[in-house]
Chains A and B, each alone.
Chain A
Amino acid sequence: MSNYQLDYLDQLESEAIHIFREVAGQFERPALLFSGGKDSITLVHLALKAFRPGKFPFPLVHIDTGHNFPEALQFRDELAEKLGEKLIVRNVEDTIKAKHLTEPKGKFASRNQLQTFTLLDTIEEFQFDACIGGARRDEEKARAKERIFSVRDEFGQWDPKLQRPELWNIYNGKIHKGENVRVFPISNWTELDVWNYIRRENIELPSVYFSHEREVLEYQNQLIAISPFIQIDETDTIATRKVRYRTVGDMTCTAAVASEAYSVDDIISEIITSKTSERGETRIDDRVSEAAMEDRKRNGYF
């Protein structure tokens, strides 16, 4: 303390808390998008630091595709209850029925794109003017371009060519009716920063992040969990493997990695020596095209 030098994790933490409080100060109806994954769990932990002993000035909101890992859902519910914070869940299944949406077809069809419809409906239902999310700029090249306060139009669209300049630590959250701002407090964190922070702060996570035995389908060097949501063909190889998850999205589009990491320390050593990126190794949805993420974001994806 005496040399007044802040470690990089403290700097990132302080920046994120500052962003949270700006949201609380600037918006009337914000929400924290919470999936039960490590990034949004980290956000909840940072929100505790920003607002306790007060209540969060926003509810936790989960857009449930119906294809989530049961471990993550259980964790989501338990954490919200433990903290005494409000959790709103909206289901993609309901949107599909109400709007007669067509489910995507194919081998690893994912509801990733359909999630956007439910998210936009939820924003409209509750009139959310800001949605805080756990996206990081190191995840993907389109995300590397995104501002911390990212304005979306009334269709939820992101226009990467018309982003507001973002100067110093001053965030302009002014919007017209119907627009909303997506806010990313951990924009400047990397995957390793998140894990180092989880270790330092002793943050609890769903068990899927740690090595466990699971029945998986091996497909193009990726390991996909066997679940009722994937199509299994006769030619597919199914095996029981020791795996863990680097990211936790839908069971249909998130691949597991072979791993012997049972603790956060083990995971950190594994990431340091890993030769592939988090999304590259685990996300099937990013492989659709080179601009898959950008295109999804343009259409309102978070």
Chain B
Amino acid sequence: MDLLRFLTAGSVDDGKSTLIGRLLYDSKNILIDQLEAIERSSKAKNNGTVDLALLTDGLRAEREQGITIDVAYKYFSTPKRKFIIADAPGHIQYTRNMVTGASNADLIIILVDARNGVVEQTRRHSLIASLLNIPHVVVAINKMDLVNYSEEVYNNIVEDYAKVAQALNLNDVVYVPISALDGDNIVDVSEKIDWYKGSPLLEYLEEVEVKGNHNLVNARFPVQYVIRPQIDELHDYRGYAGKIQSGVYKKGDKVKVFPSGAEAIIKAIELNNKEVDEAYAPQSVVLHLEEDVDISRGDSIVKTDDNLKVSQDIDAIICWMDEKPLTIGSKYFLQHNSKVVPAIVKEIKYKLDVNELKKEYEISSASLNEVVEVKLKTASPLAYDAYNSLRENGGAILIDQTSLVTVAAAMLQ
């Protein structure tokens, strides 16, 4: 059975949590005690109906305020597929938490309230989907019950969104008219929306192709940890442990170590403590090399028939996630895979205007939730790929050197 990781996004009150509640409920993935618990809370709030959103709003503050603050992860499965859902907050102040959920997603569901159409948060979340290169986009036009299931309303929103998708180069976009509250087109085909000829949401989620989401061509292996037992019978054992990010490695392959450039041949590959002839992404393995080369945590083992960028001057598009603004000249730690290097912001090239989806120049700082492209200089060379050509090896984070918190998601260019 395969696995689809998806994210729900959209503005506040567009019904994200309700949609997830409905998906779980209608696909019979809610258990009785959980349902009873939300029935009790719904009654306590005295609104009569069962509030399915309570299933995902797990924090005290979220239930008090009726909003989602942080990503909740939910799990369900159907006979066809296993799903990991990241339920992301809609509030602009929690956009960073939405980016957290988006970074591992194969697919994003962007909810649009049929009464309001495409709004600023729709554009912001679509922009993030585009920057993070999420392979599939579903625009779920929700609350169709509140617009009399109007085909015209639906068509107008599709037309508006198509412009956003075009401006952002989103390729695979699918539209579904739904009512999360009533369950129209979520698991079952809606009789009230008879003009819609596509599949209900769950059917699409079960069938969308996830195979192509892993690159098997360009082999990348960042070293996480060196295993050296240092006992007599394993005196010469030295294994490089890590997760294959992309590609396939075979015994006998010629490889090159970055950033040193040393070349070697793969002597053995261990997968789960057994030797195998080949291994592929995303398996966690241990590599052994014929030659005794100097390799430590943070280095990358790459096949010699391929190349990656090695540089100290790096352009990156970043989503800024801290209250304290990003300014030119500031120093951060940059973490890329298992490597951490100091980095300085040399220049802010432009800021992306979320509403107009265009670039603003002559910017000197970026504040919380803004998207900018910067020029970074790192203290030592970094071996990486451009995010758009190899997502697995093009993402990095910036860490504040004093507060130590993660302050930015960086898509290296």
Contact = CB atoms under 8 A, between A and B. Distances in A.
A21 B58 contact: no
A82 B32 CA distance: 41
A143 B74 CA distance: 10
Nearest to A149: B406
A8 B234 CA distance: 33
B338 A22 contact: yes
Q: How large is the interface on A (under 10, 10 to 19, 20 to 34, 35 or more residues)?
A: 35 or more
Q: SS class of chain B's interface: helix, strand, loop or mixed?
A: mixed
A55 B225 CA distance: 13
Interface in B253-299: 272-273, 278, 280-284, 297
B409 interface: yes
Contacts of B330: none
A167 B104 CA distance: 7
B176 to A, nearest CB: 25
Contact of A145 (B72, B82, B96): B72
Interface in B326-380: 333, 335-338
B224 A280 contact: no
A94 to B, nearest CB: 32
A274 B31 contact: yes
Nearest to B81: A8
Given A48-B273, A170-B397, A294 B33 contact: no
B301 to A, nearest CB: 15
Given A17-B284, A172-B335, A24 B225 contact: yes
B321 A165 contact: yes
A85 B260 CA distance: 36
Interface residues of B, number: 69
A276 B31 contact: yes
A141 B56 contact: yes
B34, B214, B338: residue with the most chain A Cβ atoms closer than 10 Å: B338
A96 B281 CA distance: 49
A120 to B, nearest CB: 21
Interface in B210-265: 211, 214, 216, 224-225, 227-229, 234, 237, 241-243, 248
Contacts of A135: none
B399 A51 contact: no
Residue among A55, A142, A167, A290 with the highest chain B CB neighbour number at 10 A: A167
Nearest to A1: B278
A142 B61 CA distance: 11
A142 B37 CA distance: 14
A187 B73 contact: yes
Contacts of B211: 5
A6 B282 contact: yes
Given A18-B224, A280-B31, A160 B61 contact: yes
Interface of B: 1-3, 31-34, 37, 41, 55-61, 63, 69-75, 82, 84, 96-97, 99-100, 103-104, 211, 214, 216, 224-225, 227-229, 234, 237, 241-243, 248, 272-273, 278, 280-284, 297, 321, 333, 335-338, 395-397, 399, 404-406, 409
Given A6-B283, A167-B397, A277-B31, 16 more contacts: A4-B281, A13-B272, A21-B241, A22-B338, A50-B241, A53-B234, A140-B58, A145-B58, A165-B96, A165-B100, A166-B100, A167-B409, A174-B399, A188-B75, A280-B37, A290-B60
7 contacts: A15-B282, A25-B338, A53-B273, A144-B72, A161-B61, A167-B103, A167-B395
